[in-house]
Structure 1
Amino acid sequence: MDAPHIARRLALALQRHAGLHGSVEDLRRLTGGATKTTWSFDLLTVDGRRPMILQQMPTMTASASASPGLAAPKLDAAEDARVMIAARAHGVPAPAVLAVLDVHDGLERGYVTERVEGETLGRKLVSDPAYAGARRAMAAQAGTILAAIHSMPVAELPFLQRLSPARELEVYAGLLARTGFSHPALEYAVQWVRKNLPVDWPDALVHSDFRTGNLIVGTEGIRCVLDWEIARVGDPMQDLGVLCMRTWRFGGAGEAGGFGAREDLYAAYERASGRPVDPLRVRFWEAFSNLKWAIGCVRRGLSVRADGSPASLELCAVGRRMEEPLWDFFQLIEA
């Protein structure tokens, strides 16, 4: 479907779902892939120009809840939108959802949100002098935002899967087994996680991908939290562990996202949530998340087309990066 055709359908969808009348202008595709296709555009109305984002999710990537145990949880477009709507209602800076698309719109499943201006590129955020002030604030901001996410009432979102640490290991070990790829370091990491699973944790809504690269940042700090499609109910310490992974520091010195101090993240979280951070559980999830990313690299690297040829040179290159999170995993468990 070409851009002019999408623009016409998009204008009709916004009129139908949100009562917004106008023409779609400057429609530009930002990213594309197996999970989402993202478009930036402006809706020109009698009241002025409104910046927006369209995200499309092909039907084939609908929620993994339809086939539990076969894949990691992934929300469909309507569920993703509902989580963001609930998050904003709870004071979390999530994208403002304007319309949720359906089959009658002819645009695949997806949703439209307001567009938030800012930077998402990790290397720029952790090194550019223009964001020095933001870096001083972001660890505390992240702790406060995560505390708000973890206090969201999950009863309002009954479609979310609950993943205990043991269940999450079962899912990812199963994904690795289905690749047929065998590696001693991966096998050791799986066994280490199995032996060190937490036995007690409070259930909470977990973003599960809260990290540099999924945050829109301005010079004052974090403006918006993106990519909610793998949210689940689980151990809240998981989010702190993911944010502290070396992979998502993009070369920055700060242990929290490459931009700040782990201590500042923890202190802000405790102030905002009224609950103590468990450093050992955070480190467990940091290690486990490195294993999950290593498995993700393997799966991407082994991706093939219908004829059996490698899916792309880019995915092959991602596959070779398996060793980086594995190195980080072993550094963590030795420490």
Structure 2
Amino acid sequence: MLAGDAQQQATAEALRRALARRSGHDGEVRALRRLTGGATKQTWRFDWVSAGGVEPLVLQQIPAPVPGAAGVPKLRAAHEAALMTAAREAGAPAPRVRLVLEADDGLGEGHVTAWVEGETLGRRIVRDAGFAVARARMARQCGEILAAIHRVPLAPLAFLHTLSPAQELAQYGELLAQCGLTRHAALAWSLRWVEEHLPGESQHALVHSDFRTGNLIVGPEGVRCVLDWEIARIGDPMQDLGVLCLRSWRFGGAGEVGGFGAREELYAAYEAASGQPVDRERVRFWEAFSNLKWAIACARRGLATRPDGRPASLELAAVGRRMEEPLWDLMTLAAPQEHTR
């Protein structure tokens, strides 16, 4: 038996025991397969077959955070599960949590959620004819979904970190220093621009922080589910609107919102659903800052190495070369304000 087959069989058996123990009903894990994608998580698709029928589910195994690691903190698996449940209760289409893994399950940290059928590949969402109706609706839907996320009650979510723009800038500055690129002219200028344009205090709300095309499950009718909640925090709600407009995540689509829609439609839907005005200058700041963060992330990927010092992979090296694209976008966003000074 191959090592991969042995791992898959062991995972299936551990899942079976965990699901049977929580549900009180025995069953069988079938069609278990590893899904691609995700920088750190291991994601598995499978069917849980029991007396109640066949239930398609997803297992995500999430590495425990490294104490003292630089960068934006990520949620523990149990906290992410609790957050997704709270978001669903507030009306946002987060995954439905079926099970949170415990130490006795032998699968590490993670959770099991209901499978949601649909497309996540950004290029298909913004280009394929089968999603034409969805694209016409998605800017409005995203405005309504973000309004739901931002009204999630914070009191039960005491585990969430609160990050100010200055704190987040400091974290990314530290990540850049670890890369040894602090003397890179475009990166240094971008860091300084963000520092000089840090906004003042804002309303605090739950912020997804990575709400974008690629983290949405989309069907022909529009958005079905919002994925990847692990870097959610308490912060400025305008951040989510800025991230959604990032050109790097438009996948070649024409719409400024995620490659599929218009800003004014997004803003109008958000204001109608939330009762709060959209601060366009703050959205522009977060769009610019998010370009800097993605540029630093590209640099880190491009410089990643194996234990022997060799480049980690050709794929990561190729991602590193894309650093210039978000830096150009940041400078383009900064230009109107710079020209009026």
Task: Normalising by structure 2, report the TM-score.
Answer: 0.94
Q: Distance in 1 between matches of 2:24 and 2:318?
A: 45
Q: Distance in 1 between matches of 2:38 and 2:144?
A: 32
Structure 2: which amino acid aligns with 1:243? L
Normalised to the residue count of structure 1, the TM-score between the two structures is 0.96
Following the alignment from structure 2 to structure 1, what is the Cα–Cα distance between the partners of residues 38 and 244? 24
| Alignment map for 1:224-303 (pairs within 5 Å) | 224-303=225-304
Report how many residues are paired.
330
Q: Is the 8 A contact 1:18 1:98 kept in 2?
A: no
Take 1:235 and 1:139, find their aligned partners in 2: how far apart are those partners?
20
Report the CA distance between 1:310 and its aligned residue: 1.1
Amino acid at match of 1:118: G
Question: What amino acid sits opposite 1:307 in the alignment?
Answer: D
Instruction: Name stretches of at least 5 consecutive residues in structure 1 with no aligned partner.
Output: none
| Partner Cα distance (2:39, 2:139) in 1 | 31
CA offsets per residue over residues 173-223 of structure 1, 9 Å max, x none? 111011112310000000000000001210111000000000000111000
Instruction: Tell me what 2:168 maps to.
Output: 168
1:217 aligned onto 2:218: yes
**Identical aligned pairs, as a percentage?**
62
The DSSP-based 3-state class of the residue aligned with 1:321 is helix
Runs of 4+ in structure 1 over 6 Å off? none
1:97 maps to 97
Query: What is the match of residue 141 of structure 1?
Result: 141
Aligned counterparts of 1:47 and 1:225: Cα–Cα separation in 2:
27
Q: Displacement, 1:2?
A: 1.5
Cα deviation 1:149-196 (Å, max 9, x = unaligned): 011111211111100011111111111011112310000000000000
Deviation at 1:31, TM superposition (A): 2.4
Retained in 2: the 8 A contact 1:18–1:99?
no
CA distance in structure 2 between the aligned counterparts of 1:235 and 1:211, rounded to whole angstroms: 16
Q: Are 2:330 and 1:329 equivalent residues in the alignment?
A: yes
CA distances 1:129-150 after superposition (whole Å, capped 9, x unpaired): 1000000110000000000101
Q: Does 1:305 align with 2:301?
A: no
In 1, Cα distance between the equivalents of 2:204 and 2:38? 32
Shift of residue 21 of structure 1? 2.9
Letter in 2 for 1:149: I
CA distance in structure 2 between the partners assigned to 1:315 and 1:20 by the alignment: 44
CA RMSD of aligned residues (A): 1.3
Paired residue secondary structure (1:208): coil
AA at the equivalent of 2:8: A
Counterpart Cα distance in 2 of 1:275 and 1:234 = 15
CA distance in 2, matches of 1:18, 1:34: 31
Q: Paired residue for 1:53, among 58, 76, 79?
A: 58
